Amino acid sequence: MGMKRLLGTMLTLALCLMPTGPAKAGPRAYMAQAPLGGQAPAPPDFATRARGAGRVVIAAVEDMQPRFDVNEYGDRLIITRAILRVEETLKGSPADVIEMDVEGGTIGDLTLHVSDLPALHRGDRAVFFLAQTATTVHHPQGRGLGIVKLDASNHVAGSMTSLADIKAAVRAGR
């Protein structure tokens, strides 16, 4: 009986702490909350992601440069600058190398994992949907949805979606 009471109290507390107001539009607006017991909405398709991105590239992570920094909300955290070696530009200005900042990374024995961003490592290959920025340093459009990792067979890691499928969708969405 004690375990049931504890679980009930924890669930009640979690429900009390959930935000109740309307979602604020912005880079995280795609993260709609699902009702309890419901299913989360499907992420935007690749054509929609391409329309929202200023640049879309197929690239490999060449280097990772973590540092302590402050994000747009004033939080001090680890930001990693990923140096991307571009294989192909699907949308936007072509470039051989692109710099992209992502939250998370490791400095010494301290690691920050960000739940809505995939962990990047040297050598990772992906399709990057990048937001327009005022500087030469980019950010993934839609946070983790802007990084679509590829496996050795040119498929989205863990799926049957091929790189050719993504290219066709990006062309349709430009």
Q: Average pLDDT in the 50-76 region?
A: 94
Q: Given a cut of 90, is residue 2 above it in pLDDT?
A: no
Which conformational region is residue 104 in: left (phi greater than 0), alpha (psi within -120 to 50 degrees), or beta?
left
Strand runs (DSSP E) across 71-166, as ranges?
A: 76-91, 97-103, 105-107, 110-112, 125-130, 137-138, 147-149
What is the pLDDT, as a whole number, of residue 154? Answer: 95
Count of CB atoms within 10 A of residue 157's CB? 15
What is the pLDDT, as a whole number, of residue 133? Answer: 83
Nearest to 99 by CA among 71, 140, 67: 140
99-131 pLDDT tens trace: 999 999 999 999 999 999 999 999 999 999 999
What is the pLDDT, as a whole number, of residue 42? Answer: 66
**Residue 58: DSSP 8-state:** E
174 falls in which pLDDT band (50, 70, 90)?
confident
Q: Given a cut of 80, is residue 160 above it in pLDDT?
A: yes
pTM of the model: 0.75
3-57 pLDDT tens trace: 555 545 554 544 444 444 444 444 444 444 455 556 656 667 899 999 999 999 9
Q: Average pLDDT in the 60-84 region?
A: 95
Q: For residue 58, how far is the Cα from the chain centroid?
A: 15
What is the pLDDT, as a whole number, of residue 132? Answer: 80
What is the pLDDT, as a whole number, of residue 39? Answer: 64
Cβ neighbours for 140, distance < 8 A, ≥ 6 positions apart: 100, 102, 117, 128, 129, 130, 131, 146, 147
**What is the DSSP pairing of strand 105-107 with strand 55-70?**
unpaired
Which conformational region is residue 34 in: left (phi greater than 0), alpha (psi within -120 to 50 degrees), or beta?
beta
Stated length of the chain: 174
What is the pLDDT, as a whole number, of residue 157? Answer: 86
Domains of the chain: 46-173 (2.40.50.120)
Q: Given a cut of 60, is residue 60 above it in pLDDT?
A: yes
Identify the residue whose tokens are 């839609």: 142
Bridge partners of 128, per DSSP, are 57, 147
